[in-house]
Amino acid sequence: MSLEEKIKAAETRVFKAVFPNTTNHYDTLYGGMAMQWMDEIAFITATRLARKPMVTVSSDRIDFRQAIQAGMLVELIGNVVHVGNTSMRVSVEIFVESMYAEGRELAIHGTFTFVAIDADKKPVRILD
């Protein structure tokens, strides 16, 4: 399988419902909760490509374009955007949609960098 095919196959999509236990006093999703979800999806995406232990080494700019209200549905989409020797960058988008109406909008976007590691926690090549 080519690298391009592996990257396409690694795309990860997860849906979640925004429940009150994940919201702040404004009834919107905690920013930290959104970032946690994004890091998790990025980790899964990176692992699906490399099939090796992966660790987050950084998160780049995260743009919060709109608040996500309690009771909304969100879709998180992770895509590998760059593969290096031992690291890769994964883009994560969060789309928001109402449970009871058509349409969806991009609410949050960010990029995460991961490194493949061995049993001694030392960087290893992503692709052999």
Residue 128: per-residue pLDDT:
79
Q: Could you tell me if 78 and 112 are in contact, meaning their C-beta atoms sit under 8 angstroms apart?
A: no
Question: Band of the pLDDT at 97, cuts 50, 70, 90?
Answer: very high
Mean pLDDT of the chain: 97
Question: In the predicted model, what is the mean pLDDT of residues 108-120?
Answer: 98
Q: Which residue has the higher pLDDT, 41 or 1?
A: 41
Does the pTM surpass 0.85? The reply is yes
CA torsion 115-74-17-79 (nearest 10°) is -20
pLDDT in tens, 31-65: 999 999 999 999 999 999 999 999 999 999 999 99
